[in-house]
């Protein structure tokens, strides 16, 4: 639909619900009558007050999906009122996506993008679409997305030339992180318009170039690590499995993010890219945790001379956990809110209906788990090195082992915790640097600093050297440069 058609159809829907709330039959009952109706797409709270009802409170409160309407009864029931008065309060699911911020025309210029950040609600009295009151009503609306700023209370202004959101007759009383209370002098449909500021990071071309360089280096190191793990036959243990699949997930996630995150022109392709990014990043965090758990098991058994990394996690359990858990989360998220993948500016997860928590929740949990695992690794390493048997050949260089353990702070994804503090520029640079170095440290620790892998490298280099020497044509003379 066009924007005009959307507003017309939405208005018909809103007006139909208003008429529904006002269609309470008059049974001449002298008691208060109240009904709450909840469906998949809306919730209604209807209150019928008999004429000259003496027992009624001065203020009546109606609720709908966490939103609250407070009405002064005397402002709607004068001395000459005949017959009962009906108050209706409704909250809609998803209406804010249709009657969105594009219908708001502010006379105050602002550099921040605006967004409808509350459910659309309707408050009405009697059979009149808009009811002017002698005392204003209070509306408390909950925020769809936390940490947005500058709330503006608006109502839906019906106009033949084109309806829109308008702040006329409404003002903001109080606001916190999750709710805003408005005062309005009339009744109709309402919402909150707020400024998108928490995600707004100033453009930094230097950071963009720095990020591209670091991630490119990481992609090269990850590619070398993947080739090493695939072609090196001398290593057959759990570490190889864990870090091979971690490298594959990180390589796919970083490469897809760099090349496809801004492909928003094709909505279907954008949704697919967002879904794959969701899966790859969650899988990366899962494999980081598995690697941290394997490292902890290794460090706790340093005194066991016969201990091998093969005695840790079982390979047959790794793949179902490493890929099964992220796939389950993505599948559930896609079924619950399929339109949550993709966006207008980036192919990532939508902020609507808290959908972004399908990534943020699991990733926060795994980052916290990795921090705890890393702390436990350092504690066990410290206690084990004090009494370690000097005859254990694999511990001849304890400084190297300590360096490897510290490198796992990055490999295990603990540095992702810096993403919680993106307000300061220094944390943004540290975040990009440390997370971009994950691929470098994986290649360094598990390839370059691995004795078996270095032996494979030397053998491969010798074979290449011999092939080069034997490929020299016969009869070719070489100059004697011996002094």
Phi, psi dihedral angles at 16 (to 5 degrees): -65, -40
| Residues 246, 284 contacting (CB under 8 angstroms) | yes
Q: Are residues 453 and 316 in the same domain?
A: yes
Please name the residue that has the structure tokens 């947005």: 148
Q: Are residues 185 and 277 in the same domain?
A: no
Q: Are residues 166 and 305 in the same domain?
A: no
The answer to whether residue 478 sits within a structural domain is no
Q: Are residues 285 and 410 in the same domain?
A: yes
46-60, 148-162, 225-239, 254-268 — which is least confidently predicted? 46-60
Residue 181 pLDDT > 70: yes
The answer to whether residue 69 sits within a structural domain is yes
Q: Are residues 20 and 119 in the same domain?
A: yes
The per-residue pLDDT of the chain, averaged, comes to 80
Sheet of strand 170-175: strand arrangement: 59-64, 67-72, 137-142, 179-184, 170-175
How high is the pLDDT of residue 471? Answer: 61
> Helix, strand, coil % (nearest 5) of the chain?
50, 20, 35
Q: Are residues 95 and 132 in the same domain?
A: yes
The answer to whether residue 480 sits within a structural domain is no
Residue 427: exposure state from Cβ atoms within 10 A (0-12, 13-18, ≥19): middle
CA 60 to chain centroid, in Å, comes to 38
Range of the domain at 331: 205-387+397-462
The answer to whether residue 477 sits within a structural domain is no
H/E element, 443: helix 438-443
The answer to whether residue 469 sits within a structural domain is no
Q: Are residues 65 and 162 in the same domain?
A: yes
Residue 312 pLDDT > 80: no
CA distance 150 to 143: 12
pTM of the predicted model over 0.75:
no
108-122, 165-179, 436-450 — which is least confidently predicted? 108-122
- Kindly give, in sequence order, each residue whose CB lies less than 8 Å from that of residue 253, ignoring residues fewer than 6 positions away: 277, 280, 281, 284
* pLDDT tier, 189 (very low <50, low <70, confident <90, very high otherwise): very high
Is the model more confident about 27 or about 299?
299
Distances from the Cα of 246 to the Cα of 123, 313, 323, 346, angstroms: 53, 15, 11, 25
The answer to whether residue 479 sits within a structural domain is no
Residue at which a domain ends, from 196, 213, 242:
196
Q: Are residues 189 and 269 in the same domain?
A: no
| Residues 186, 132 contacting (CB under 8 angstroms) | yes
Residue 380 pLDDT > 70: yes
The encoded tokens of residue 339 equal 């339109």
The encoded tokens of residue 209 equal 């170039």
Is the model more confident about 470 or about 287?
287
| Residue-wise DSSP of 262-302 | T--SSHHHHHHHHHHHHHHHHHHHHHHHHHHHHHHHHHHTT
3-state secondary structure of 8: helix
The answer to whether residue 474 sits within a structural domain is no
Q: Are residues 250 and 161 in the same domain?
A: no
Number of domains in the chain: 2
The CATH number assigned to the domain holding 41 equals 2.60.220.50
Is the model more confident about 429 or about 223?
223
Residue 478 pLDDT > 50: no
Residue at which a domain ends, from 196, 218, 234:
196
Residue at which a domain ends, from 151, 175, 196:
196
* pLDDT tier, 223 (very low <50, low <70, confident <90, very high otherwise): very high
Q: Are residues 221 and 192 in the same domain?
A: no
The encoded tokens of residue 255 equal 């490469």
| Residues 11, 103 contacting (CB under 8 angstroms) | no
* pLDDT tier, 302 (very low <50, low <70, confident <90, very high otherwise): low
Q: Are residues 317 and 232 in the same domain?
A: yes
Q: Are residues 179 and 300 in the same domain?
A: no
Is the model more confident about 481 or about 193?
193
The CATH number assigned to the domain holding 255 equals 1.20.1070.10
Q: pLDDT by residue (tens digit) across 336-370?
A: 888 788 876 778 887 666 688 899 899 989 999 99
* pLDDT tier, 391 (very low <50, low <70, confident <90, very high otherwise): very low
The answer to whether residue 392 sits within a structural domain is no
Highest mean pLDDT: which of 54-58, 84-88, 466-470, 478-482? Answer: 84-88
CB-facing half-sphere around the CA of 234: CA atoms within 13 A: 13
How high is the pLDDT of residue 303? Answer: 56
How high is the pLDDT of residue 328? Answer: 96
């Amino acid at each position: 639909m066009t924007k005009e058609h959307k507003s017309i159809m939405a208005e018909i829907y809103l007006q139909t619900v208003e008429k529904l709330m006002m269609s309470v039959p008059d049974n001449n009952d002298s008691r208060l009558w109240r009904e709450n109706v909840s469906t998949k797409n809306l919730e209604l709270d209807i209150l019928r007050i008999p004429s000259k009802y003496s027992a009624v409170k001065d203020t009546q409160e109606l609720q709908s999906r966490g939103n609250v309407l407070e009405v002064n009864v005397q402002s709607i029931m004068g001395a000459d009122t005949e017959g009962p008065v009906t108050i209706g309060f409704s909250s809609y699911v998803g209406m804010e996506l249709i009657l969105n911020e594009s219908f708001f025309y502010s006379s105050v210029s602002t550099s921040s993008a605006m967004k409808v950040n509350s459910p659309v609600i309707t408050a009405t009295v009697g059979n009149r679409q808009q009811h002017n009151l002698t005392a204003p009503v209070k509306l408390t609306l909950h925020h769809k997305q936390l940490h947005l700023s500058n709330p503006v209370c608006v109502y839906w202004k019906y106009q033949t030339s084109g309806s829109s959101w308008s702040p006329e007759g409404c003002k903001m009383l109080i606001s916190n992180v999750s709710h805003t209370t408005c005062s309005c002098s009339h009744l109709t449909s309402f919402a909150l318009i707020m400024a998108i500021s928490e995600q707004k990071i100033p453009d930094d071309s230097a950071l963009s170039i720095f990020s591209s360089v670091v991630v490119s280096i990481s992609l090269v190191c990850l590619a070398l690590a993947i080739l090493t793990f695939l072609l090196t036959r001398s290593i057959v243990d759990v570490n190889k499995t864990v870090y091979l699949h971690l490298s594959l997930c990180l390589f796919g996630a970083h490469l897809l993010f760099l090349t496809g995150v801004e492909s928003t022109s094709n909505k279907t392709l954008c949704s697919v890219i967002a879904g794959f990014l969701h899966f790859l990043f969650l899988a990366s965090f899962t494999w980081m945790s598995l690697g941290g758990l394997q490292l902890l098991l290794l460090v706790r058994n340093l005194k066991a001379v016969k201990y091998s990394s093969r005695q840790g996690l079982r390979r047959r359990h790794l793949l179902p956990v490493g890929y099964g858990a992220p796939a389950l989360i993505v599948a559930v998220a896609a079924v619950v809110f399929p339109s949550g993948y993709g966006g207008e500016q980036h192919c990532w997860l939508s902020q609507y209906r808290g959908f972004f928590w399908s990534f943020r929740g699991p990733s926060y949990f795994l980052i916290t788990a990795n921090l705890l695992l890393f702390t436990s690794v350092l504690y066990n390493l410290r206690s084990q090195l004090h009494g370690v048997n000097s005859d254990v050949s694999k511990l001849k260089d304890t400084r190297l082992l300590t360096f490897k353990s510290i490198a796992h702070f990055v490999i295990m994804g603990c540095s992702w915790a810096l993403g919680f503090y993106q307000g300061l520029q220094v944390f943004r640079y540290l975040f990009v640097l440390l997370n971009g170095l994950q691929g470098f440290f994986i290649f360094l620790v598990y390839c370059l600093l691995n004795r078996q892998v270095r032996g494979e490298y030397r053998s491969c280099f010798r074979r290449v050297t011999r092939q080069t020497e034997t490929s020299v044509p016969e009869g070719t003379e070489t100059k004697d440069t011996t002094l």
